[in-house]
Structure 1
Amino acid sequence: MVQLTIQDKYSRQYKAGFPHLFKDALVDVSPLTKEGMILDLVNRQGQFIARGYYGKQNKGYGWVLTQNKEEAIDQTFFIKKISAALAKRKSLFDDPSTTAFRVFNGEGDGIGGLTIDYYADYYLITWYSEGIYQFQSLVINALEQSTSVKGIYEKKRFKQGGKYIDDDDFVSGERAQFPLIIQENGANFAVDLNDGPMTGIFLDQRDVRRTIQNHYSNDKTVLNTFSYTGVFSVYATLGGARKTTSVDLANRSKEKTIEQFAVNGLDPTQHEIRVMDVFNYFDYAIKHELAYDLVILDPPSFARSKKRTFSVQKDYVGLLKSAIQVTEDDGVIVASTNFSGFGMDKFKTMIHQAFKESNARYQIVETFRLPEDFQYHKQFKEGNYLKVVFIKKIRS
């Protein structure tokens, strides 16, 4: 255990429960020699403020775990946190139409740097720093003692600039047969917990996808950009869409999208699946005067191809302007970003800028943030990262 002094101007913030340790808040970081060290945070008078751990994640130095001086960071601590998080998701465990969701969401459930997802009796643990990974055995034991576990997989998202460490991700229990078929809102999806950094579906968009199926798809033409495995396209088709067009630059996107259609008994040949740069597709669609009733924009926060670099901060307005050009009058654009660097107000300002520069009128129909299983810490706004805005393009 190491004692670290908090700068005076940040003491009140940490006393109030702020969970994230960052360099400017610390008087001296030289005692931080090994990730996973337990840290006692004190003020300049030596009074205890909180206890946490050292783990480099993005630009942070770790996370606060407790403000109780008597609470040890031991097996009991992890059992308490994980069992409480599981109890909060009881309604999801009881819902037979959804068998994939988040059961532990980092600092929102009391342990920053760690997430746990549930996939049809299997659990996937993601470690975001070498520091939290030092508690691997305690976390796994806590999970196994708190619920019935068929098998556990893990993703290590530290080192190499935060990139995924490519390895066999199986940890314990029974190995799954992949693709593993999970359900979400009654739809089927194929996932793989041991094939790279992602699984085939982003669980934080569950409510958005259900809304698209139930209210925005019937008899519509749909363009799904940055489509990944085509999950939005499947939902739109289940909702009665006349045709979907899925566009993604990754070569695997086509076979994976075909697979997602197939596990739902849908004919992928009735839909268009293109492997190409989304911006190039917009140029193609504009040139050929194509227009869609529903356009879905859910790009990564940052992406680099051989010819282009995309950044949400710099390029989202331009992306949205292209989408506006291929959206029918009275059509809807679903604008989404998981970038944590700005909030919903800034995102709406970007939307307004794109429509203003396009000389187009719009109406915000509804907005979404994270679903209930993605608990976030009220004092750590970056944790509430998801912003989704349904925008109606008003007829001029």
Structure 2
Amino acid sequence: MRQVVKVPLKSNSVKDIKNGYPLLVKDAIKDSEVVMQEGNLLYLVDLNGAFIGTGYYGKQNKGIGWVLTRKEKEEIDVSFFERKIREAVEKRDRFFASEDTNAFRVFNGEGDGVGGITIDFFNGFYMVSWYSEGIYSFRKDIYQALNEVVDALGIYEKLRFDTNGQYLDQDDFVSGQKGEFPLVIKENGMNYFVDLNDGAMTGIFLDQRNVRKALRDKYAKGKTVLNTFSYTGAFSVAAILGGAAKTTSVDLAKRSLPKTLEQFSANGINFESQDIKVMNVFDYFRYEERHGLKFDIVVLDPPSFARTKKMTFSTAKDYPKFIKDTLKITNDDGLIIASTNNASFNMKKFKSFIDKAFKEMNVGYKILEEHQLPEDFAVPHNFPEFNYLKVLFIKVRK
């Protein structure tokens, strides 16, 4: 029997949760002496003891837990999770019916009613990502619910919380049929290889699907393209298939080279006509500037935080400088695709970073497009702060 803990909330948190806010922030609890353990169900009440909602305790970077229901009599059991998953699957009907895309998000945490968990679909296989020990304690019920709703070829999982080494030797396979990896998936008619059983990453970030399509369909033809923090070269593939004259992919990870070659091969691309650099992006920028080399399009999708022996980089404080460095290697009338998944600031703040950089460089610009999370990455209604992705297509006017 799962332990239920009665938790009184501060007045401002009571108001937020009544208005639909799904997250339990760290300072939401009135009584700091309340003892909670990962996976405890939380009976949330106001200062008068009146019921506000039921949630669970699970620490992750966003807070200490999530609200699951605001109905006092609703049980948190297999049937609860089955309803949530079924509703989410039905909302993605058009994705399941698509002939040119077979990889997308099926369940997006708080946007689909259960924070701390995501479920992705990869050409018949499902991958469940767990973001706290608390939600992971519901693993048995959630997998039972998932199997009631979908007919999966196989299920894999990723543990994205601190396990103190407990699961380091665990295979990511959960049930069903084991996949043969790399597995080819389709995204807007483009082929990508993924591996669901190879550490934290799969080989592609599904939330950038619309951005890759826009690059391919509208901007790449005849252009030279620099893809920074290129990972497995997904943006490079989109650019080449859009008719780019040449792409250069740069990433510090040694495995980025074979992984990018793999993505090229999935699309019949001659890798010898493209450049792939395994090196620090910031060092590469300096190299290009010294040699006077420039590109028509530069894709910027850095991690929120990065550290090397020589420097640290944070999108929250260093993005303006990053844009300024990019301008030095971008052709006149070129295009910068600036992206960040840092949830600590919103699109308005991100645009202010862009504006600051261009003004300091005395260069004009025009924002041609802006993107946030695609439709399958559902976010809670009226709470845009959960829409973490921010992408701007910026036309340079030197």
TM-score, structure 2 as length reference? 0.97
Deviation at 1:325, TM superposition (A): 0.9
Of 241, 246, 255 in structure 1, the residue corresponding to residue 249 of structure 2 is 246
Deviation at 1:33, TM superposition (A): 3.1
Alignment CA distance shift 1:343-1:217 (3 Å): same
Instruction: Tell me which residue corresponds to 1:336.
Output: 339
Of 158, 171, 191 in structure 1, the residue corresponding to residue 174 of structure 2 is 171
Deviation at 1:290, TM superposition (A): 0.7
Deviation at 1:110, TM superposition (A): 0.1
Deviation at 1:162, TM superposition (A): 12
Partners of 1:355 and 1:163 lie apart in 2 by 48
Aligned residues: 395
- Any idea what SS the aligned residue of 1:23 has? coil
1:157·1:164 contact (CA, 8 Å) conserved in 2?
A: no
1:53 paired with 2:56, answer: yes
Correspondence list, 1:1-396, <5 A: 1-159=4-162, 167-395=170-398
Partners of 1:79 and 1:95 lie apart in 2 by 24
Alignment CA distance shift 1:255-1:243 (3 Å): same
Deviation at 1:15, TM superposition (A): 1.0
- Any idea what SS the aligned residue of 1:25 has? coil
Deviation at 1:166, TM superposition (A): 6.0
Alignment CA distance shift 1:30-1:158 (3 Å): farther
1:100·1:184 contact (CA, 8 Å) conserved in 2?
A: yes
Deviation at 1:161, TM superposition (A): 9.1
1:166·1:196 contact (CA, 8 Å) conserved in 2?
A: no
Deviation at 1:23, TM superposition (A): 2.4
1:170·1:194 contact (CA, 8 Å) conserved in 2?
A: yes
Deviation at 1:24, TM superposition (A): 1.4
Amino acid at match of 2:157: E
2:251·2:279 contact (CA, 8 Å) conserved in 1?
A: yes
Amino acid at match of 2:158: K
Partners of 1:161 and 1:313 lie apart in 2 by 29
Deviation at 1:313, TM superposition (A): 1.1
Residue range with higher mean Cα deviation, 374-383 or 385-394: 374-383
Amino acid at match of 1:300: P
2:5·2:36 contact (CA, 8 Å) conserved in 1?
A: no
- Any idea what SS the aligned residue of 2:74 has? coil
- Any idea what SS the aligned residue of 1:107 has? helix
Amino acid at match of 2:55: G
1:155·1:164 contact (CA, 8 Å) conserved in 2?
A: no
Residue range with higher mean Cα deviation, 91-100 or 4-13: 4-13
Alignment CA distance shift 1:195-1:112 (3 Å): same
Alignment CA distance shift 1:330-1:385 (3 Å): same
Partners of 2:364 and 2:383 lie apart in 1 by 34
1:157·1:165 contact (CA, 8 Å) conserved in 2?
A: no
Deviation at 1:307, TM superposition (A): 2.7
Identical aligned pairs, as a percentage? 54
Partners of 1:19 and 1:379 lie apart in 2 by 11
Gaps of 5+ in 2: none
Residue range with higher mean Cα deviation, 23-32 or 214-223: 23-32
Deviation at 1:359, TM superposition (A): 1.5
Gaps of 5+ in 1: none
Alignment CA distance shift 1:305-1:165 (3 Å): farther
Deviation at 1:164, TM superposition (A): 9.1
Partners of 1:81 and 1:162 lie apart in 2 by 31
Partners of 2:87 and 2:336 lie apart in 1 by 38
Deviation at 1:10, TM superposition (A): 2.3
Q: How big is each residue's C-alpha offset from its partner over 1:261-288, in whole Å with a ceiling of 9 and x where there is no partner?
A: 0110010110000001111111011111
Partners of 1:120 and 1:164 lie apart in 2 by 26
